[in-house]
Amino acid sequence: MIDLTGKVALVTGSSRGIGAATAIKLAEAGADLVINYASSQGPAEEIASKINKIGRKAIVLQANVANFDEAKSLIKKTKKEFGKLDILVNNAGITNDKLLLRMKEDDWDQVIDINLKGVFNTTKSAARYLMKSEAGRIINLSSVVGLMGNAGQANYAAAKAGILGLTKSTARELAVRGVTANVVAPGFIETDMTENLPENVKAEMLSNIPANRFGKVDEVANLIVFLASPLAQYINGQVINVDGGMLM
């Protein structure tokens, strides 16, 4: 039984999709939550109210994680509200797919800034608080695309691959203070991010998934909750796929 009673967790991008499912599952395990969003205030507040109904505390904070000052302030407000931070889940992410020949500098910068620099921004700001936790946890969302590449996603693949190096370096630096940092790499999960992909792209993806189906947000959230728990204290610097066997 996973028990996170007394822990405080921040999940970036938890208004929707994998982040929202993760926030709810962390609360079900006993944690209090910071729900972060970029623009979806209403959905973020709905997630917080679901968490309140579970009996846990939740606050909602808007912040663009790509902006260093906003990310720093997100962490500061968390500390001010709860007095500490035990679990940081870097989930916020976007795609902006184009073939390399058509990709503009802005398309590259936007995806790298949110998906990769955003992880640096929150992790750097949170590290001192996580080190004070009895068992600090950092869980970063990458993707199988960061491990294998994907046509049309050079920016996204580069950001998600960058997360591996950032996480492993963080794991090495903070291990001595009892903080672990791990990567969760989902395959194709049914969320807003994947909903609008062309049917032929979805069919091609499906043909490469031995499980013969797309993943559910809860299937990713379950692993994140485990990694956040005391059961995972000796797991550090790892990359774990949740992809129905897509990449093995």
Active-site residues, by number, are 156
Q: Which is nearer to ligand NAP, 65 or 232 (CB)?
A: 65
Output helix, strand, coil percentages for the chain, rounded to the nearest 5: 50, 15, 35
Q: Which is nearer to ligand NAP, 93 or 136 (CB)?
A: 93
Q: According to the binding rule CB under 6 A, does residue 13 interact with ligand NAP?
A: yes
Q: According to the binding rule CB under 6 A, does residue 140 interact with ligand NAP?
A: no
Q: Which is nearer to ligand NAP, 108 or 188 (CB)?
A: 188
Q: What angle do CA 97, 168, 15 make, to 5 degrees?
A: 50
Q: According to the binding rule CB under 6 A, does residue 48 interact with ligand NAP?
A: no
What kind and span of H or E run contains 8?
Answer: strand 8-11
Q: According to the binding rule CB under 6 A, does residue 180 interact with ligand NAP?
A: no
Q: How many residues appear in the chain?
A: 248
Name the residue type at position 193: M
**CB under 6 A: which stretch of 16-24, 129-137, 221-229, 230-238 binds ligand NAP?**
16-24
| Of 89, 123, 115, 128, the residue nearest 8 (C-alpha) | 89
Give the CA diameter of the chain: 51
Which residue ranges make up the site for ligand NAP (CB under 6 A)?
12-19, 36-40, 64-66, 91-94, 114, 141, 143, 186, 188-189, 191-194
